[in-house]
Each structure stands twice: as structure tokens, then as C-alpha cells.
Amino acid sequence: MIHIAILGFGVVGSGSAEVLTQNRELIAKHCGEEVNIKYILDLREFPDHPLGERVVHDIRVILDDPEVALVAEMMGGAHPAYDFTRAAIEAGKHVVTSNKEVVATFGVELLKLARKHHVSYLFEASVGGGIPIIRPLQTDLASNQILSVSGILNGTTNFILTKMEREGADFASALKEAQANGYAEANPAADVEGLDAARKIVILAALAFGVLLDPNKISTTGITGITKDHTAAARALGGAVKLIGHTRTVDGKVLAMVSPFFVPSQNPVSHVDGVFNGILVDANMLGRALFYGAGAGKLPTASAVVADIIDILSHRAEERSLPQWRTATAEEQTDASVLVCRHLFLIEGCAKCADKATKALRAEACVGVEGGRYALISAPMTAKEARDALSELTVVLTVPVLD
């Protein structure tokens, strides 16, 4: 029997316990032995839960028990999750996590520490919920040069934008419905302001390019400024507005950003709706591959946590090769201002203004929308070049295009 501990018994922690319990026999076949949840660390008591007697409140109980081979951290937030993770690794225990904030902030340090202590630190559940994306980038696409990674990384914002697009809802009412359905927190700032997606795209950038950017310093724009007029303009041009995390290299430097993008209908990401996530990887040999599925939720995320547990325990006689990340220097990163792409503009004015804008932007498309406005898509250029071209016109919206 292999003993493990769970840190945090919230949505994902309790879901992981459910997966481990219900699929006990299947997991034992993969691992070669039964996996037993020996401890659950939480501040609360769970007297009515079948595993309630396994709850402890002191991390030292887990760290000092030599029988505990692996710790699954699902506490959320940076502290004490980081501190407990570090202590577990130093105690010679493998760690798996769903905590994107800890991975995005301390990933370089924790991976280095895990190599030093000959244990594993895995984090498949930190991006994309139940969608396999971390492991494919590390292993399945190892023979490819990653050109870019783009995707819908936050189910809450995708639900809101889908409501606005399909039903003509405004942002406030769509957010209220998301909260009523349990998709958004009472304080939704991390989601709607793009902070959650920023942490995730930083992790994906590190996997793709080997350097960990500071999630607090990348260009991040949320969806609070998007209105139903904007989604209507996108629909008129045959696509949708989506909150996208995007990373690529530009002139040898790593660019990572989060922003509302116009996604044309021919791009498969445009059809990822509701609370689902879709991550598009562009590789030099494979081409484009879309990873799609439930990006959040109790059991989808828990399934990714347990997949990491199985991966470690089924290969525990082997020492894993962990990612070799380093903290990005100022010379290794760049910002969204250098991105050359098409842009969607929504402008106010007469038909003559629309003609002027079409010529200035070398626009490929221009359509009239309600309220005397025009939506058009520029030729590839930087955002500054596009704004400068329309300096004499009234611009209601500017978003990059994800081709």
C-alpha cells in the first residue's frame, strides 16, 4: 500500500479524494499497489465525510511520517501552499498540485529543489483543468519547436462572453448568471481582469520556451470593457470575442499576453463556448493541435491531479527528468507592443469615415453594424501602427485577431 496526503479539502481536494476512492481498483492496477489517503490537511473538520477521521491540522504530522510518499497540494493561493510544498519536497516527498499561482511564481525554485531531493513536482491540473496539456508539451511534442500557444484558459470569462455573444446579454447580467451557477466567485476580479489566465499562460510559456516570466508583469487586459456591441461587431465579421492567453517568441524574445481577441470562425478556438477551455498549440513539425475540454470543475480538475499521482507512483523506481526552467531576464522577454497581427476595429462615423479607415488600415473587411458604427479588420501591423492610422477617427474598440 502506498500512502499519500491531501493538502486542502475544498472543491479540487475533495474531488481528488472522490476519484481516488471510486477508481481505487483501476488506480491500484496502474500503480502496482493500492493508494491510500492517510491524511487530509485542512483548517476545518469534516465529521460527516467518510474520510473525516483522516483530517489533521498540523503539516508536521504529514512531513514527519516516513510512510507518506506523496503530497497532493490543492490549497490555492501562494501561502502557505508554497511553504508546505517546499517543506514536503525537502522531506523527500513527491508533490503534485493544481495551484497555478505557486507554479507561475515559484516554479523555477521548486523544480530545482525537486531535482536536488530526487523527487517529482508535477502540475498538470494547474492549466486547463482536466485537459491534458502540460504533459503533451513536455513529452509528446518534445521533438517539435513550439511556435506559439494560444487559448481560452478561463471558463468563467468564456461563459460570460458566450452569453453576451449568443443572447445579447450585457456584461453585468452575464457575470451575475455565472455567479449564480457557481462559475464565478463573489469577487470575480481574478477571472474577469485576466489574472487567472495570466498565471496559466506564464506556465505554458515556460513549458514552450524554458523561461518563467513574472505573471504580474505581462500585458494583461480582462473583459470588463467588452460590451454586447463589441460581441455583435465580432459576430458581423464572422467570429467571436474570446479572452485569450497567447505566447510566442518575437526576435528571440518571449512574448506572453492576455487580452480579448477577435477569433475568426475558421479558427477552432472560436467554437469553444461556455465554461470549456481550448488551447491551440502551433508546432513546426506537427502544425496546429487543439486541446479541448472541461477547463475547470471538481472532477475534471481532480482527474488531472490523480493522473499526476498515478504517473509518479507507477514510475517511483525511476528518477524523473523535470523541466529545466530559468527565470526570464529583461533581455529574454518582450511585451504585446511588438506583436504584429491583424486587428479588429469598431469605429463611429459616417460611410466616408469607414472608407478612410479601410484605406488607412489596408482593411480586408468592413461591415456596418447597429448605431452608425463600422467593424473592420486591418492588415497585419502592431497595435500602435493601427491606432496611429486611425488617430483622426473615433475608435470604440480595438482587439488583436487570433488567426
- Residues with catalytic function: 200
Residue 142 half-sphere exposure toward CB, CA atoms < 13 A: 7
What does the alpha-carbon distance between residue 207 and residue 52 come to, in Å, rounded to a whole number?
A: 37
Strand 121-122 to strand 94-97: parallel, antiparallel, or no bridges (unpaired)? parallel
Q: Helices 228-236 and 155-167 meet at what angle, rounded to 10?
A: 70
Strands in 91-200 per DSSP E: 94-97, 121-122, 146-152
Show the cell assigned to 266: 475558421
The three cell numbers locating residue 377: 479588420
Q: How far, rounded to the nearest angstrom, does the alpha carbon of residue 195 sit from its chain's CA centroid? A: 10
Angle at 142 between CA 138 and CA 143, to 5 degrees: 170
DSSP per-residue letters across 83-110: HHHHHHHHTT-EEEE--HHHHHHHHHHH
Q: Is 385 exposed, middle or buried (0-12, 13-18, 19+ CB in 10 A)?
A: middle
Report the candidate in 4, 143, 163, 157 with the shortest Cα–Cα distance to residue 68: 4
Peptide bond into 80 cis (omega under 30): yes
Q: Which distant-in-sequence residues (6+ apart) come within 8 Å of 13 by Cβ?
A: 6, 7, 40, 42, 72, 74, 75
Q: What is the DSSP letter of 401?
A: B
Beta bridge partners of 345: 376, 398
Q: CA nearest 162: which of 285, 313, 275?
A: 275
